C-alpha cells in the first residue's frame, strides 16, 4: 500500500513521515516584504536592454503558429494538485476543459507570439516563504517560492519544447550538458566526472575542477 502511495501521490506519502516541528514564528508579512525587497534591490540591474543585432536571422520552426496539437501535449504534461498564481487558474482547469478552451488558447498564444508582447500579468507572482532551517524568526532562513500564472507557464512550456527540439536537431547543445534535458541526469554527470578522475589518477594526471 505504501509503495503504491509513493508512486501515485509522493507528496502525501512523504507527509506521513515528515517530522512535525512546532516552530514559533513571530515574523509578519512586512518582515518578509522588506527582506525579499532587499534581495531584489541588491541584485544586478537587469533593466539595461541588450544590444540589438541588425543581421536578423529567423528560424521558421520557432516562429510558426502554435498548434492545437502542441497545446494538448503541453496540457497532458500538467501535474494536478499544484498551486496557482495570481490569476487563480489551476492546472485542473486546463485538464478538465481542454476540449473547449484549446481553440481560445490557440488564439491567445499566437497573438502573444506574433506581437512579441508577453502579458505583464503572466510575470506577476505570489511569493511564498518556505522555511529552510535555523531560527524561524530570521527571514533569511526562508526561501521564496514564486507562484506565477499557470496560463503563462503553459505558453512558455510550448516555447521551451520548440527550442529544445530545435537545439537537439541542430546539434546546438553540448553533450556535456546534463541538466534540463530529457534522457539525461545529473547522476550521469557525476559518473562521467568520477570516470575522468579515476582514469587520470591511474596515469598520474592531475585534475582541476571549476564549479560554477
Q: Is 14 exposed, middle or buried (0-12, 13-18, 19+ CB in 10 A)?
A: exposed
DSSP letter at 133 equals: S
pLDDT computed for residue 59 by the predictor? 82
Question: What is the residue-averaged pLDDT of the chain?
Answer: 86
Tell me the torsion sign for CA atoms 202, 203, 205, 207.
negative
What pLDDT is attached to residue 124? 93
Beta-ladder partners of 128? 145
Which of helix, strand or coil describes residue 197? helix
SS3 65: coil
Query: Grid coordinates in use for 25?
Result: 514564528
Q: Identify the DSSP state of 126.
A: E
Give 37-90 pLDDT, tens digit per residue. 888 887 666 566 656 555 667 788 888 999 999 999 999 999 998 999 999 999
Amino acid at each position: 500500500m505504501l509503495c503504491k502511495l509513493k508512486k501515485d501521490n509522493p507528496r502525501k506519502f512523504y507527509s506521513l513521515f515528515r517530522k512535525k516541528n512546532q516552530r514559533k514564528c513571530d515574523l509578519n508579512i512586512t518582515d518578509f516584504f522588506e527582506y525579499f525587497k532587499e534581495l531584489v534591490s541588491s541584485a544586478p540591474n537587469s533593466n539595461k536592454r541588450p544590444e540589438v543585432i541588425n543581421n536578423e536571422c529567423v528560424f521558421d520552426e520557432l516562429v510558426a503558429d502554435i498548434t492545437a496539437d502542441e497545446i494538448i501535449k503541453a496540457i497532458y504534461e500538467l501535474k494536478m494538485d499544484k498551486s496557482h498564481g495570481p490569476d487563480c487558474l489551476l492546472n485542473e482547469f486546463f485538464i478538465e476543459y481542454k476540449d473547449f478552451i484549446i481553440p481560445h488558447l490557440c488564439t491567445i498564444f499566437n497573438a502573444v507570439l506574433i506581437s512579441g508582447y508577453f502579458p505583464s500579468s503572466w510575470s506577476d507572482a505570489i511569493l511564498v516563504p518556505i522555511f529552510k532551517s535555523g531560527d524561524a524568526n530570521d527571514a533569511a532562513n526562508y526561501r521564496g517560492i514564486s507562484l506565477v500564472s499557470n496560463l503563462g507557464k503553459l505558453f512558455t512550456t510550448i516555447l521551451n519544447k520548440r527550442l529544445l527540439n530545435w537545439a537537439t536537431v541542430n546539434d546546438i547543445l553540448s553533450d556535456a550538458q546534463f541538466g534540463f534535458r530529457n534522457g539525461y541526469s545529473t547522476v550521469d554527470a557525476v559518473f562521467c566526472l568520477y570516470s575522468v578522475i579515476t582514469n587520470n589518477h591511474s596515469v598520474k594526471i592531475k585534475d582541476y575542477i571549476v564549479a560554477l
